[in-house]
Amino acid sequence: MIKKSLTLIISICILLPVFGLVYWSFTSRLPWPNLISGHLDISAWNALLLQPSHWKSLLTSVLVSSLTVILVHFLVLPICIAVLIYKIKVPNLYWIVILMPLIIPSISLSIGLHLLFLKLGWQGGLLPIVLAHTITSLPYAFRILHSTCLLLGTAMGEQSSVLGASLIQTLFFVYLPNLKKPIILSTLLVFIVSFSQYLLTFLIGGGLIKTLPLALFPIIQSGSRSEAAAASLFFVLGAAFFMWLIEKTIHRQYKDGVTLWYL
Amino acid sequence: MLPSRRINALLFAPFALLFVVPTLSALILILIEATANQLSMTYVLREICNDNFWVSFRFSLYIAFVATLLCSVFGFLIALLLLKIPETSGLHRLLGWPILFPHFAVAFMVFLLFSQSGLISRFIAYFWQLPDPSDFPAMVFDQTGLGIILTYVWKEVPFAALMFYSHLLVLKKKYFNLSQLFCRSEAQFAYRVLIPLSKPMAASVFTLLFAYNFGAFEVPLLLGPTSPRTLSVLGFIQYQSADLTARPSAMAINLIITGFSCLILIAYMRALDALKAMGDTP
């Protein structure tokens, strides 16, 4: 009984703000003491969805986040191989640097990267943004994949070499299939971290590359309530849709569900 | 298989080149910009002597501490609840939702609910008495930073709960049968076994969230009062200011933020070491 009611209370605490968001996105011009407007107003959604620039920035965001996911795994997977096959320990100095983006506030890291890219003359392109997103989201992927590699151990790989498999075969038929679940997990996580990055994109992109948070932040900051509510929901639904899509595409032959929810 | 040095270097090269080098050089650049010459050094000193700076510093520290404490405690309690209910109950899934919401959207949700003309004040006015919206206590844009704290709580309690839950699940598997011999009740099991053995995990969750809450920028920008500002907002405004003389003090503020975070980083690494010593993977 107590368990049931506690579950209910927690669920309400999570759902109530979301409900408020949905409610306001369909309500406009509701003077203060009124709670119920009585009719559905879709003007905020209309204004939002009919704006082609929002759809464009959604696509830009997906492009940036996808490239980030690819680059992150391109950097992290070789290290997993080194850990698995060559039993290399990740040096301590690397560990410190890996934990830095998690701990050092995004404001300092963003300004530092901005200065760096200014010095290098990379201002406003797509690739600097992808690199910057990679730096902030790599630690998440690294920790998931590295800890799985340690758990996986080398026993299975040694077994396959005893049976005569080459290194490449061991890699593709033993290690990578076992890493599939954590790779899906880290893909989803890197995607969402990159997808909701505001400050970093704002500074590095110099406002030229408009990702979705960049397009919607001004609406939330100064638009009307219903517009801002619709914008927030648009973002969340976009993120949820693409994460669902990623999960479905990577996961086709995979029966038992891995989901980000259990991270 | 002995690692050949060349293969080793090859596997680490992209990572070192595209992650380690830029991260370190970004931080070193802040250090250089803030301390390059005597003039910029005076700005660092001036910031340190500045009352405004310390007010912001205290405000950031206060928000981060309160929010993180609430998140850790509630997260742990919810994780204990999660242990007791079946995974099919839906709560596990529901706790994943806040990951999808970016901080600025959560901040706006808090604004919709808790502002003086928000849904809760309307609700009270509808069912009871509330003559004017200004009679509802100011919970956003206020000096106590309540709106900011509520935002962090909504977003991070589920995160903390899921972190603790995965840890507690391992502990339960390891020790539950043994505890049947020694503990009289499940409450005793929680108190004697789960809580003491969760300390390293708690330290790691606490430092991680604290570091985030201390330096986060979007939420205090949207929901914070104009004075005092949090340190991150102050640093950003100075950096973006059209007045070029504000730039050195922006660099000074960021240097101090970074230095302070390095202290948190040390604490975090010690927490991770303690976790590793327990046999939990980092």
pLDDT for the residue B279: 65
Length of chain A: 263
Contact between chains at B8 and A82 (C-beta distance less than 8 A): yes
Record the pTM.
0.88
Two structure tokens written together for B8: 């080793």
With a cut of 50, which residues of chain B have pLDDT below it? 1, 281-282
Question: How far is B118 from A75, CA to CA, in rounded Å?
Answer: 46
Residue A59 pLDDT grade (very low, low, confident, very high; cuts 50, 70, 90): very high
A32, A220, A235: residue with CB nearest B117:
A32
Two structure tokens written together for A32: 């203060």
Question: How far is B215 from B264, CA to CA, in rounded Å?
Answer: 12
pLDDT for the residue A250: 73
Query: How far does CA A6 lie from the centroid of its chain?
Result: 30
pLDDT for the residue A179: 85
Is residue A129's pLDDT more than 80? yes
Nearest CA distance, A124 vs chain B (angstrom)? 16
HEC string of B182-210 equals HCCCHHHHHHHHHHHHCHHHHHHHHHHHH
- Per residue in B76-127, pLDDT (tens digit) is 999 999 988 888 778 888 888 888 898 989 999 999 888 888 888 888 888 8
A105 touches chain B (CB under 8 A): yes
Is residue A66's pLDDT more than 90? yes
A165 touches chain B (CB under 8 A): no
Q: What is the mean pLDDT of residues A228-251?
A: 87
Is residue A262's pLDDT more than 50? no
To the nearest whole percent, how much of chain A has pLDDT over 90?
A: 31
Instruction: Answer yes or no: are the C-beta atoms of A97 and B16 closer than 8 Å.
Output: no
Instruction: Answer yes or no: are the C-beta atoms of B117 and B110 closer than 8 Å.
Output: no
Q: Which residues of A are less than 8 Å from B203 in CB distance? A: none
Dihedrals phi, psi of B220, to nearest 5 degrees: -65, -30
Q: Which of A201, A205, A215, A57 is nearest to A124 (CA)?
A: A205
Q: What is the mean pLDDT of residues A231-249?
A: 88
A236 touches chain B (CB under 8 A): yes
- The CA–CA distances, whole Å, from A90 to A95, A146, B12, B81, B165 equal 7, 9, 10, 36, 27
- The CA–CA distances, whole Å, from A130 to A65, A70, A72, A144, B13 equal 7, 10, 10, 21, 18
Q: Which residues contact A198 (CB under 8 A, 6 or more apart)?
A: A213, A214, A217, B102, B104, B218
Site from A29, A108, A127, A235 to mutate, B interface, most B CB atoms within 10 angstroms: A108
User: Residue B115 in 3-state DSSP?
Assistant: coil
Which residue in chain A is spatially nearest to B254 when comparing CA positions? A108
To the nearest whole percent, how much of chain B has pLDDT over 70?
A: 97
